[in-house]
A and B are shown apart, each in its own frame.
Chain A
Amino acid sequence: MSEGKTGLPGVPPADLPKDLIDLDGLSERQITTVLDTAMAFREVSEREIKKVPTLRGKLAVLLFHENSTRTRLSFEIAAKRLSADTLAISASGSSMSKGETLLDTAKNILAMRPDALVVRHSASGVPKFLGDRLPCPVLNAGDGAHAHPTQALLDLLTLRIHKGRIRDLDVAVVGDIAHSRVARSDMVGLRKMGAKVRVAGPPSMLVPGLEEEYGVKVYDRIEPAVEGADAVIMLRVQLERQKGSLFPSSREYARVYGMNLERLKLLAPDGVILHPGPVNQGVEMTPEVFESGRSLILRQVTNGVAVRMALLYLMVESPEGPPPEPRQSR
């Protein structure tokens, strides 16, 4: 595995940017390489010994300023299956809750000399802030309402596996488009890979200019958006931050925008349902939809590990990768 960073037959080197902040900066070719690499790592997770030595001796710091069980676990599992050491820092119980500034946090992480930093933060722009100040790769695990690139990549991988392609698929994204980092990254990723994207949500959850900015079609009802769709991504409703201002109640939301068996019939015959999780059962979708064979939600979780393994592998400098840049002597 020394010729180029994938070392996989037929997969060209990715040449990814130092940091993964959002998908805006990636080309279709780069995204394809990440997905191809992830396909190879999916196999690792099926083995009896689910571990490769690729990142042995490397340290991945997982900085989670916002609660997130599944994304953190997914990154942690990905890093461990690559044999990297991991260190998870969460906001509560760390100095961040004692009033440490972000600049302090950056300087302290720098002093620990990690080989990768995975960051989840409630404020948009924090991964960029840290990436600009740290020499190691920074992977955005979700920042504010800005971006969640690894989620979008695992959605793309899931679609590619189950639909055989992404180009020309009709994909609908339903829910709080305005405040969702998942929606933003999905729209960018899907458009870059050639899918046709429709979005739907109450007007209070749409922002003006989506059509021009992202090249998507906008609907304020769910039915026309999902009609004939090959896939529908149902976004999580942030119940904790709604308080009746964006829509009257979660009951009303479920009635107007929720996915149920009746609406499922509107999709293309083999249309599938995705959701970034965790699902508010009975709000975004009924339990029947969740349990139906059309839901790929748990496959997404599995694919998430593969995508994150691929990214860590491609972005972290490793002995098995290309020779490191010449360094200044200490």
Chain B
Amino acid sequence: MPSHILLKDGEIHDRATDMRGPGEILATDGVISKIGPPGSVVPPGDGSENLTVLSLKGLLIFPGFIDMHVHLRTPGQEHKEDPETGLSAALAGGITSVLAMPNTIPPVDNACVVESLVHKGEKLRKARLLVSCALTRNREGRELNEYDEMREAGAVAATDDGSWVRDSSVMRMAIDYAHTCGLAALSHPEDTSLSGKGVVNEGRISARLGLAGIPREAEEIAIYRDISLSGLSGKPLHLCHLSTAEGVALVERAKNAGIPVTAETAPHYLFLTEAEVAGYDTNAKMNPPLRTPRDVLALREGIRKGTIDVIASDHAPHGVLDKEREFADASFGIIGLETIAALSFELFRELGLPLDLLSEVLHANPARVLKRPVGLAPGNPADITVIDPEKEWTYRVAEGRSKSRNSPFDGRTFTGKAVMTIVDGEVREDSR
């Protein structure tokens, strides 16, 4: 017997299906079957079938948010995170799909590891686990991996995230071959010969605190090289975690020239600056580092204009001993699965941006990059995020679901919260 779920009385924001306002969605056996204005969606009717009706009055319905930059630390560093805690944190934060980064120990560079991750994700039935594999063997930047076999095992993207592929010929081949095999190619733009041992943005704060700086140019040089290679091959390339104003300008110029690059930034680059590091707070230590107010403004403008395609959390869990230590030796990164949706929503409200653009940066653009179904169109998996725009809440990292506690947003109060997360037509999170 088919099983139906009907979402009514809510407000739909999905640019991909051109829905911007009150509407209804029917999902049947995990797949969207109908979408339309209020009253237009009638469940198939002999009354005998299994039908759940959810009234979402005052709530906003989005196509399921995809966080395409997440470190699940599995295999190898399960003390920091594992698929169960990570995907559960995702559900709590309104994220329906997570792209797991392959810089694990050992790295995800063969079909066996890909398969085991895909299998774990399916078994857990939490947020959907999408797997990215490494671009190069052992993430060393020298030889390509067997992309086709890994794609067949379930991988959707390839990246050496955490390291830049320094050899331009290798990267050129990687972009080409990943495309041939149907994988999205992602780059971590950082010229490490320039960033060196830096731990914070090079500038006033690094000088004041006596910490080694990372010049913004380390990122910009790499972005320029990556854009050039995407132009050379004519194949798409996705640039991860942009943090500088010039980076945004480079991407804008590339897009105007018709080069098929896409770009991503993270909520912390949209809200925080290097000033957070004062007092040696290691929860403000990330790579790339937090920059300056000028960069924050440029990244925000990039979101508004569509130059930045994607907001992703760069969820980077670390244990207490990785963070509570000498600043120079502390690990880079913060967790973000449970705050990305709320921070993005807050940003959009603050900037007065239309909510159907939010559906682009948190759903449609990541879906396009990863070649996943786009929007709430009939036939697509019923992955849905519901936001209560007026709900006030305070993020308490100690009560979070991630195994790790490294967040600079602990104690922040939000207006607006993801209150329901639906994956494959199943309500997997409901805190209305």
Real complex partners, A and B?
A: yes
Identify which of A75-83, A153-161, A205-213, A265-273 touches chain B.
A205-213
> Which residues of B are found within 8 Å of A178, using beta-carbon distances?
207
Instruction: Give chain A nearest CB distance to B276 CB in angstroms.
Output: 14
Assess A144 versus B328: contact at CB under 8 Å? Given A128-B280, A209-B204, A213-B208.
yes
- Tell me which of B207, B321, B327 contacts A125 (CB under 8 A): B327
- Structural contact, B280 and A125, CB atoms closer than 8 A: yes
- Residues from chain B with a CB closer than 8 A to the CB of A128 are 279-280
Confirm or deny: B53 has a beta carbon within 8 angstroms of a beta carbon on chain A: no
- Give the size range of B's interface with the partner: 10 to 19
Q: How far is the CA of A210 from the CA of B209 in the complex (A)?
A: 13
* Chain A residues numbered 100-130 whose CB sits less than 8 Å from any CB in chain B: 101-103, 121, 123-126, 128-129
Q: Does B326 contact A (CB under 8 A)?
A: yes
CA distance A143 to B327 in the complex (A): 11
Bound complex: CA A121 to CA B268 (Å): 30
Shortest beta-carbon distance, B292 to chain A, in Å? 11
Q: B209 contacts which chain A residues (CB < 8 A)?
A: 124-125, 146
Across the two chains, which residue of chain A brings its CB closest to B326?
A123
A40 at the B interface (CB under 8 A): no
Q: Is the CB of A208 within 8 A of B203?
A: yes
Q: Is A26 an interface residue (CB 8 A)?
A: no
- Taken together as a complex, chains A and B put the C-alpha atoms of A126 and B327 apart, in Å, by 8
Given A124-B211, A129-B280, A146-B209, the answer on whether A103 and B204 have CB atoms closer than 8 Å is no
CB closest residue in chain B, given A207: B207
Report the separation of the CA atoms of residues A184 and B208 in the bound assembly, to the nearest whole angstrom: 8
Q: Which of A197-237 contact B (CB under 8 A)?
A: 207-210, 213
- A126 to B210 Cα, complex, angstroms: 12
**Shortest beta-carbon distance from B409 to chain A in Å:** 20
B329–chain A nearest beta-carbon distance, Å: 7
Given contacts A123-B326, A123-B327, A125-B327, contact A181 B210 (CB under 8 A): yes
Given the complex, which residues of A lie within 8 Å of B207, measured CB to CB?
A: 178, 207, 209-210, 213
Contact (Cβ within 8 A) A124 B327: yes
Residue on B with the closest CB to A178? B207
CA A125 – CA B330 in complex, angstroms? Answer: 12
Cα distance A209–B212 in the bound complex, in angstroms: 15
**What distance in Å separates the Cβ of A101 from its nearest Cβ neighbour in chain B?**
6
Closest to A181 in B: B210
Q: Does B324 contact A (CB under 8 A)?
A: yes
Q: Give A269 to B206 CA distance when docked, in angstroms.
A: 37
Asked if A145 and B211 make an inter-chain contact with CB atoms under 8 angstroms apart, the answer reads yes
Complex Cα gap A178–B326 (Å): 20
Binary interface profile of B, 6-23, with partner A (CB < 8 Å = 1, else 0)?
000000000000000000
* B371 on interface, CB distance cutoff 8 Å: no
A180 to chain B, nearest CB (A): 9
A147 at the interface (CB under 8 A from B): yes
Cβ of B325 under 8 Å from chain A:
yes
Contact A101-B321, Cβ < 8 Å, known A128-B280, A147-B210, A213-B208: yes
Complex alpha-carbon distance, A101 and B208, angstroms:
25
What mask results when residues 138 to 178 of chain A are scored 1 for a CB within 8 Å of chain B, else 0?
Answer: 00000111110000000000000000000000000000001
Knowing A209-B204, A213-B207, A213-B208 touch, does A102 contact B327 (C-beta < 8 A)?
no
In the complex, what's the smallest C-beta–C-beta distance from A125 to chain B, in angstroms?
Answer: 3
Partner of B329, one of A123, A143, A181: A123
Partner of A102, one of B204, B206, B208, B325: B325
Q: Within the assembled complex, what's the spacing in Å between the Cα atoms of A179 and B211?
A: 9
How far, in whole Å, are A324 and B326 apart by their CA atoms in the complex?
A: 32
Bound Cα distance A97, B327 (Å):
18
What's the least CB distance linking B253 to chain A, in Å?
26
Q: Which chain B residue shows the least CB distance to A24? A: B208
List, in ascending order, chain B residues with CB within 8 A of A144's CB.
Answer: 210-211, 328
Give every chain A residue within 8 A of B203 (Cβ-Cβ).
208-209
B99 to chain A, nearest CB (A): 32
Digit string of A287-305 for contact with B (CB within 8 Å is 1, else 0)?
0000000000000000000
Cα A128 to Cα B329 in complex, Å, equals 15
In the bound complex, residues from chain B placing their C-beta under 8 Å from that of A210 are 207
Distance (whole angstroms) from the CB of B108 to the closest CB of chain A = 29
Name the distance in Å between B325's Cβ and chain A's nearest Cβ: 5
Shortest Cβ distance from A268 into chain B, in angstroms? 29
For B211, the chain A residues whose CB sits under 8 A away are: 124-125, 144-146
Is the CB–CB distance between A124 and B280 below 8 Å?
A: yes
In the complex, residue of chain B having the shortest beta-carbon distance to the beta carbon of A105:
B325
Q: Give me 17 other A-B pairs in contact (C-beta within 8 A), A103-B320, A143-B210, A144-B211 excluded.
A: A101-B321, A123-B326, A123-B327, A123-B329, A124-B280, A125-B211, A125-B280, A125-B327, A128-B279, A129-B325, A129-B327, A144-B328, A146-B210, A147-B210, A207-B206, A209-B203, A213-B208
Of all A-B residue pairs in the complex, the 10 with the closest CB atoms, nearest first, are: A146-B210, A125-B280, A145-B210, A123-B326, A124-B210, A125-B327, A207-B207, A123-B328, A102-B325, A144-B210
Name 30 A/B residue pairs within 8 A (Cβ), A-sorted: A103-B321, A103-B324, A121-B326, A123-B328, A124-B209, A124-B211, A124-B280, A124-B327, A124-B328, A125-B209, A125-B211, A125-B327, A126-B326, A128-B279, A128-B280, A129-B327, A144-B328, A146-B210, A146-B211, A147-B210, A181-B210, A184-B208, A207-B206, A207-B207, A208-B203, A209-B204, A209-B207, A210-B207, A213-B204, A213-B207
Residues of B within 8 A of A (CB): 203-204, 206-212, 279-280, 320-321, 324-329
